[in-house]
């Protein structure tokens, strides 16, 4: 069972995580191992998405801070300037 969570924001992801955990507890209490395994996979997928979106949010905040400070938000540190081309 595939769960599409890519277009959910962090708040919606946490709500979905809570909802699936509740369903997993119910399925486990009824001894339904197949659905419990599927629900665990969904929780893993949501956790990965939450982590990725949280990291992107941190990077965006750092970028905004650099812009506010008047610094270049995307410095090209790996470019070697060897002079001008004529």
The predicted pLDDT at position 79 comes to 61
The predicted pLDDT at position 54 comes to 92
The predicted pLDDT at position 14 comes to 94
Mean pLDDT per 10-residue section of the chain, whose length is 86 residues? 80 94 95 93 94 91 84 64 68
Q: What is the pTM of this model?
A: 0.70
| Element of type H or E holding 36 | helix 33-68
């Amino acid at each position: 069972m595939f769960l599409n969570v890519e277009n959910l924001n962090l708040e919606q992801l946490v709500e979905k995580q809570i909802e699936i955990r509740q369903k997993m507890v119910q399925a486990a209490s009824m001894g339904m191992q197949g659905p419990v395994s599927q629900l665990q996979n969904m929780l893993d997928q949501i956790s990965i998405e939450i982590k990725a979106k949280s990291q992107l949010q941190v990077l965006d905040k750092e970028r905004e801070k650099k812009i506010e400070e008047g610094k270049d938000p995307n410095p090209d540190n790996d470019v070697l300037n060897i002079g001008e081309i004529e």
